[in-house]
């Protein structure tokens, strides 16, 4: 059944070629948008003997399988974004208005306007950059990093790309070690945008077996990752092949497992 409705009933009201039933196998044809939904297999089992010796017939229903058509939509309507950062700090460029990419995750990189290189900037091309699920970070920002950046999103399955119509403008200020009062500037949390408590965490969705980057951009502070409510596993600072690696203030987890 689809979304709680019998496939046989759907065949009566839709194009008969959309659904092909062959025994226990269901084939969907055409890839139409209306075929998206939750599909479940139903099995009727007869002759089930209960503890009181009564024989009954029961119905088993499988967990739903969510079907979505591969696609990449357009960017949502947004405005130009401005990022100010001091020289030597980590800059985070957001990719606003992200398209809906199925299947995910999308591959994100940035193009710098006026750059000599036509390539997309990411950690695949330069270790000074780190692509994340919602943007990109630049390590130890220098004056030459200033400029306008455009986010580019790619669906690896369909090989389609989308470029943001709006730019992120990075402005690099001279390095500052003190405030106007002669005191050291306090630490500042840049991303996530606000502090969260253990009882109200930030939820990150990831598919089992895929890699994930947990972002943390903290200015004038040393970042240490711990696992709440459990022993903290060993986290590497140098080895790119380790399952847990801290990259600047971020934590990369390779091949996420349940539990």
| pLDDT, tens digit (0-9, with 9 covering 90-100), for 205-243 | 888 888 999 999 998 899 999 887 777 788 988 887 889
Per-residue pLDDT at 250 exceeds 90: yes
Sign of CA dihedral 96, 101, 216, 242: negative
Q: What does DSSP say about strands 160-173 and 147-155: parallel, antiparallel, or unpaired? A: antiparallel
d(CA 155, CA 106): 6
pLDDT digits (tens, 9 = 90+) for 98-127: 999 998 888 999 999 988 776 899 888 788
Domains of the chain: 7-67 (no CATH), 70-176 (2.60.40.10), 186-259 (2.60.40)
């Amino acid at each position: 059944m689809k979304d709680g409705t019998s496939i046989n009933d759907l065949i009566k009201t839709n194009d008969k070629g959309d659904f092909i039933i062959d025994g226990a196998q269901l084939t969907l044809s055409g890839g139409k948008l209306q075929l998206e939904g939750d599909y479940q297999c139903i099995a009727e089992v007869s002759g089930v003997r209960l503890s009181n010796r009564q024989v009954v017939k029961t119905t088993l229903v499988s967990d739903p399988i969510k079907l979505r058509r591969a696609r990449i939509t357009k960017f949502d309507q947004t405005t130009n974004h401005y990022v100010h950062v001091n020289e030597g700090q980590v800059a985070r460029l957001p990719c606003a208005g992200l398209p809906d990419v199925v299947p995910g995750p999308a591959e994100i990189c940035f193009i710098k306007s006026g750059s000599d290189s036509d390539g997309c900037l990411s950690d695949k091309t330069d270790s000074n950059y780190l692509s994340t699920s919602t943007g990109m970070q630049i390590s130890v920002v220098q004056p030459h990093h200033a400029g306008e950046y455009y986010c580019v999103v790619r669906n690896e399955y369909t090989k389609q790309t989308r470029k943001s119509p709006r730019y992120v403008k990075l402005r690099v200020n001279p390095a500052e070690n003190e405030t106007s009062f002669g005191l050291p500037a306090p630490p500042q949390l840049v991303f996530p945008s606000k502090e969260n408590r253990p009882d109200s965490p930030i939820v990150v969705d990831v598919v089992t077996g895929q890699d994930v980057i947990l972002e943390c951009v903290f200015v004038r502070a040393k970042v240490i990752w711990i696992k709440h409510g459990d022993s903290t596993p060993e986290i590497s600072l140098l080895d790119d092949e380790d399952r847990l690696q801290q990259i600047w203030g971020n934590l990369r987890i390779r091949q996420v497992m349940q539990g």
